[in-house]
Amino acid sequence: MDNKAVLEEMLELLEKRNVKIRKDSLGGGGSGLCKIKGEYLFFLDMDSSSYEVAISCAKAVNEIIDIETIYLKPEVREFLESSS
């Protein structure tokens, strides 16, 4: 599973937890999670590589989801654990 596929899996996890995904050109390195008025929003920087966005997304997943309580594909779990 490549970085793009892992990223898609993690974005799906966030969306299932009611995190809104906003895709914008932010100049590179600008992806991240924030909380506005009690709701989570993940900014996905379209100018960053899939790997850079996946690292930021992994941090967001690890922050709001207890990955020990859900099933994850082995490649996704490994990526999440290695980036925490």
pLDDT at 83: 85
pLDDT at 30: 82
What tens-digit pLDDT sequence spans the chain (84 residues)?
888 999 999 999 999 999 999 999 999 878 999 999 999 999 999 999 989 999 999 999 999 999 999 999 999 999 999 987
Minimal CA–CA distance to 64: which of 31, 30, 16? 16
Q: Hey, which residues does 43 pair with through a beta bridge?
A: 22, 32
For Cα atoms 59, 9, 60, give the angle at the middle one, nearest 5 degrees. Answer: 15
What is the model's pTM?
Answer: 0.90
Per-domain boundaries in the chain: 3-79
